[in-house]
């Protein structure tokens, strides 16, 4: 097997977790902080193999709470840092995510979803969609990319760091156990060789080399309601200005569709297969996938379904995507057919079967 490198473009055959580790190297990440949990363990394993070769660092912490906060500490001192987790670890990391939201710390979390509630299954689900997009104890200003392929795991890991450091909102990369464990081909590359600009990290504290640096006052505790109101509303204004710039979606055949299949993440691969099969049979079907589930492309979905009669929402959860769709298209009376399979995979054949029941 040829040695893998980021010189030029190289076709590789990797697991999703391995892809994330390589993408972090490509994004010029300095350090990963992490704690083991399935199905993301191999991100840590691959990262620790790559770190010595590329001058990177790794710290295993005592739990996920610590992993989240040490990642924030590394970022405050000017390191481009990230962490990765799943399920119960994602629950624990919400504490640090809330602090990052309030203090506008550009942290990147990689979430390889597993089933819940509690420890539940350790392999696959889309049951962390709500937690990842709306977790924390405040308004939850965060960017969430939901990936469908290994190529997207690579591309959007790099993009996640740029988005986090550009807009200074916590940014999540959402995968799942299937993506984490399976292998598939993709192209890896050095983004700077392709002309992509990587947003550099900068220190907030501990930078004594620049005596004239500007003063930045960071707080995540406020004494009065009025103080908190002003800060949250300022964050909201920044979010509203940013959202149209980062929102992403994919759609096919919606312009003349009677039924539009809506899905996200790996389930959208089955949805795309169903769309291709049904279109080949002459059916007027469309395909819509939110790539950012926060911000959700509700305006774009509303426009796409303008001539449609029904939406078929397919997800490996019990209505977490469905609620986003309903909220994003709240002023439309279109009929929605839910296909809700919490914790289990969905195939092309099953989506076609559901379509034929409509």
Enumerate domains of the chain plus CATH numbers: 9-194 (3.40.50.970), 250-356 (3.40.50.920)
* Residue 8: predicted pLDDT: 87
Percent helix / strand / coil, the chain, rounded to 5? 40, 20, 40
* Residue 1: predicted pLDDT: 44
**282-300 pLDDT per residue, tens:** 999 999 999 999 999 999 9
Whether this prediction's pTM lies above 0.85 is answered by yes
* Residue 208: predicted pLDDT: 67
Q: What is the DSSP letter of 167?
A: H
Q: Does residue 48 contact residue 73 with C-beta atoms inside 8 Å?
A: no
Radius of gyration of the chain (CA): 21
Q: How far apart, in Å, are the Cα atoms of 57 and each of 25, 42, 173?
A: 11, 16, 21
Produce one character per residue of 107-143: b if its CB has 16 or more CB atoms within 10 Å, e if not: bbbbbbbbbbeeeebebbbbbbbbbbbbbbeeebbbb
The fraction of the chain above a pLDDT of 90, given in percent, is 89
- Rounded to an integer, the average pLDDT of 79-108 is 97
Positive/negative CA dihedral, 7, 11, 15, 16: positive
CB-based burial label for 93 (10 Å; 0-12, 13-18, 19+): buried
Kind of pairing, strands 183-189 and 259-262?
unpaired
CB-side neighbour CA atoms (13 Å) of 54: 24
Cβ contacts of 235 within 8 Å, gap of 6 or more: 101, 102, 104, 139, 141
Q: Does residue 96 contact residue 75 with C-beta atoms inside 8 Å?
A: no
Least Cα distance to 47 among 64, 26, 78 occurs for: 26
| Rounded Cα distance, 91 and 67, in Å | 12
Residue 337 CB coordination number (10 Å): 15
| Rounded Cα distance, 16 and 302, in Å | 32
Q: Does residue 313 contact residue 239 with C-beta atoms inside 8 Å?
A: no
Q: Does residue 146 contact residue 265 with C-beta atoms inside 8 Å?
A: yes
Residue 279 CB coordination number (10 Å): 16
Q: Does residue 150 contact residue 178 with C-beta atoms inside 8 Å?
A: no
- Rounded to an integer, the average pLDDT of 242-271 is 98
pLDDT band at 4 (very low <50, low <70, confident <90, very high): confident
- Rounded to an integer, the average pLDDT of 140-153 is 97
Helix 88-103 to helix 64-76 angle (10° resolution) is 30
Per the prediction, the chain carries an average pLDDT of: 95
The continuous run of DSSP H or E covering 90 comes out as helix 88-103
* Residue 182: predicted pLDDT: 96
The fraction of the chain above a pLDDT of 70, given in percent, is 97
Least Cα distance to 174 among 135, 141, 213, 145 occurs for: 145
Place of tokens 């790099």: 158
| Rounded Cα distance, 100 and 69, in Å | 9
Tokens of 273: 């297969």
Place of tokens 């598939």: 184
Tokens of 97: 């995510």
Q: How far apart, in Å, are the Cα atoms of 353 and each of 184, 201, 339?
A: 27, 49, 11
| Rounded Cα distance, 146 and 76, in Å | 26
* Residue 140: predicted pLDDT: 84
């Amino acid at each position: 097997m040829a040695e893998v490198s980021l010189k030029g473009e190289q076709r590789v055959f990797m697991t999703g977790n391995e892809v994330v580790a390589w993408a972090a190297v490509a994004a010029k990440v300095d350090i990963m902080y992490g704690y083991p949990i399935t199905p993301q363990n191999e991100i840590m394993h691959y990262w620790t193999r790559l770190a010595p070769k590329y001058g990177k660092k790794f710290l295993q912490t005592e739990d996920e709470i610590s992993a989240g906060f040490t990642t924030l500490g590394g970022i405050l001192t000017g390191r481009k840092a990230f962490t990765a987790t799943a399920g119960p670890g994602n629950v624990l990391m919400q504490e640090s995510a809330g602090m990052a939201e309030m203090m506008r710390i550009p942290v990147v979390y990689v979430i390889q979803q597993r089933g819940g509630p509690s420890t539940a299954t350790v392999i696959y689900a889309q049951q962390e969609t709500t937690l990842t997009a709306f977790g924390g104890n405040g308004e939850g200003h965060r960017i969430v990319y939901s990936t469908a392929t290994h190529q997207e795991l690579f591309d959007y890991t790099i993009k996640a760091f740029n988005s986090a450091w550009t807009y200074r909102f916590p940014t999540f990369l959402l995968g799942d156990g299937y993506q984490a464990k399976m292998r598939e081909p993709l192209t890896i590359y050095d983004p700077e060789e392709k002309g992509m600009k990587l947003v550099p990290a900068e220190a907030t504290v501990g930078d004594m080399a620049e005596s004239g640096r500007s003063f930045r006052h960071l707080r995540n505790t406020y004494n009065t309601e009025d103080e908190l109101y002003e800060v949250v509303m300022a964050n909201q204004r920044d979010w509203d200005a940013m959202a149209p710039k980062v929102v992403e979606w994919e759609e096919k055949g919606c312009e003349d569709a009677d039924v539009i299949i809506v899905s996200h993440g790996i389930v959208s691969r089955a949805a795309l297969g169903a769309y291709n099969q049904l279109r080949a049979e002459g059916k007027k079907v469309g395909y819509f996938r939110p790539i950012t589930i926060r911000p959700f492309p509700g305006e774009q979905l509303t426009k796409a379904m303008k001539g449609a009669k029904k939406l078929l929402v397919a997800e490996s959860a019990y209505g977490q995507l469905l609620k986003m769709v309903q909220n994003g298209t709240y002023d439309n009376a279109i009929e929605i057919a839910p296909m809700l399979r919490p914790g289990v995979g969905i195939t092309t054949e099953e989506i076609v079967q559901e379509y034929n029941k409509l």
